[in-house]
Chains A and B, each alone.
Chain A
Amino acid sequence: MTMISVRDLRKTFPIKKHAGGFVGSLASLFRSEYEGEFEAVKGISFNIERGEMVGYIGPNGAGKSTTIKMLTGILVPTSGEATVAGMVPWETRKQLALKIGVVFGQRTQLWWDLALIESLELLKYMYRVPDDRFQHNLNTATELLGLEEFLRTPVRQLSLGQRMRGDLTAALLHDPEILYLDEPTIGLDIVAKAAIRDFLSELNRARQTTVLLTTHDLDDIEQLCPRIMVIDHGDVMYDGGLSDLKQRWGGRRQLIVDFASEPDVAISELTNGNLEVISIDGPRATIAFDRDSLSAPEVLSRAGAYGDIRDMSLQEPDIEDVIKRMYAGKIPAGV
């Protein structure tokens, strides 16, 4: 069953540029210097089936949040179609709200001055959650996320990690069929991140909740999302499995080699088809290489010919790098 269906969805924002400074500000009261349109989302299409967990990734300003805001009914698109749980979000916002849960990592959905439990009880009333479901969901969240130690603390006094756990509980009280998460682990420590990831996989397993998640954290994606969509400049550039993406296009690992002193400049001659010396900074050289055709010890032994190696570290390709390269056109985009 298709939970989310999007066809040629577009959103443009008008932009006005003001001249800087005091005089410019005054002038802009009467006329705008330049008016144009910024196309935040450029006619994207995709389907998400019930029970899928999809990672929606891309750099800042790529259009991730704008898409999610259209799919929750917060924003009305400029053109295109979308149905979420069988409804057009911006036309049936109120009814849709009962079927979706929303967590925006940067902002809380809770009441700042109320204790967490009071916020949850207000939401119970607002979403008309039956007593037994409320108790059940609260118990599950308490158990898996460790809520009891701060259930009676006012939200403004919660730490970021506690608040996020509270927000997640709040978003799930009414058993939504779809959960939107906009950077749910941003700024959290490893323990809190792990707790939230475990909770989400358990939720998806037990209730078949469909999850659409935006994040900058590759670990989130690796642990939660069998499918990812990469968006940049308002376009979907990749839609498929994570392993596929990494294997096909993200295969470059980086070896950072610290020499005892500055290595022989001839080290840059190492660069060939499947290996590239990216930078030489004093005694430190950074070498990128193709994971399929070269192994790290091999690269290390080649580098050893140009100086005394003191230390080394290996970096796995990260998703940001893949996207950056994808956008720069160094690798073929598309599925």
Chain B
Amino acid sequence: MAYRSSFLLQIFANFLINTAEVLALFAMFYQFDSMGGWTLGEVALLHGMSMIAFSLGDMLTIGMDYVAPQIRSGEFDRVLTRPLSSWMNAVTSEINLRHLGQLIQGFLVLTFAFTQVNIDWSVTKVLMLIGAILTGVALFMALFTVEAIFSFWTVNGVEAINAFTYGGSDLAQFPMHVFGRTLRVLFIWIIPVAFVTYYPALYLLDKPDPLGMPGWFVLLGPVITAVFCGVVAWGWNQGIRHYRSTGS
């Protein structure tokens, strides 16, 4: 911790921003009793899971934020002279716990959700919760990598990808069936954030899927996520081969 006060302020700011988000949720439920048939506690469960998965995924891939500037300055050379996989090396080149605030908040929201909803706990449900969060962490790590991959071609990062990272985590905070068909297809089959919160939550709450998918459907989550990660890994390797360095 080379810059302690800066570090603490960053976490505090991050905590505040996310507090605003949680307050918005409460404000909404102050006006309406339910959202798509889900209570405040049930939606809070989605919020908590999404926030935990997103903040962990983001903190573990913070190095990806530095890929674009490193490519621009040529410092990415350093990553490629080390005996590690280039992705591991890029990821570990920077460590930043700025989203620790959000992680804490995620746990608070999740705890709140557990006091509001009745979950008939069992071993498989605990495993489901952990599995869902791990799937989410992997998925968000892959999404943050996508943004870095583009910078091998564009040199600057592509902000549009944020629509899928931040957008995906926001979307995962609400029951999937309230969204239109296009968004649902996108976030179930292409960027499978629905498997991070929505389907696991249905299982935890013993709810049937309003969209009509059978119970085992939730188990597809890790599979689709693995495919997604595989595609991202391939893209990363293409990016490395395309790397052009800079004059020195």
Q: Enumerate chain A interface residues (CB-CB to B < 8 A).
A: 13, 61, 65-66, 69, 72-76, 90, 93-95, 97-98, 100, 102, 104, 106-107, 109, 113-114, 126-127, 154, 182-183
Contact = CB atoms under 8 A, between A and B. Distances in A.
Nearest to B76: A74
B2 A75 contact: no
Given A104-B77, A107-B77, A69 B245 contact: yes
Contacts of A154: 2
Interface string B116-136: 000000000000000000000
B83 A74 contact: no
Interface string B77-99: 11011111110000000000000
Interface in B180-216: none
Given A13-B244, A61-B247, A65-B247, A74 B81 contact: yes
Contacts of A61: 247
A72 B83 contact: no
Interface string B225-248: 000000000000000010111011
Contacts of B241: 76, 90
A94 B83 contact: yes
Nearest to A115: B2
Contacts of A182: 248
Contact of B80 (A93, A98, A114, A126): A93
B75 interface: yes
B231 to A, nearest CB: 21
A106 B77 CA distance: 12
A277 B83 CA distance: 56
Contacts of A69: 77, 245
A106 B2 CA distance: 24
Contacts of A104: 77, 248
A15 to B, nearest CB: 11
Contacts of A97: 81-84
A108 to B, nearest CB: 8
B74 interface: yes
Given A73-B80, A94-B83, A97-B82, A107 B243 contact: no
24 contacts: A69-B245, A72-B80, A73-B80, A74-B80, A74-B81, A75-B245, A76-B241, A90-B241, A93-B80, A94-B83, A94-B84, A94-B85, A95-B83, A97-B81, A97-B82, A97-B84, A104-B248, A107-B75, A107-B77, A113-B2, A114-B2, A126-B82, A126-B83, A127-B83
A65 B74 CA distance: 12
Contacts of A93: 80, 86
Point out which of A72, A93, A95, A154 has the most chain B C-beta atoms below 10 A from its C-beta. Answer: A93
Contacts of B78: 107, 109
A109 B244 contact: no
A102 B247 contact: no
Contact of A107 (B82, B86, B244, B248): B248
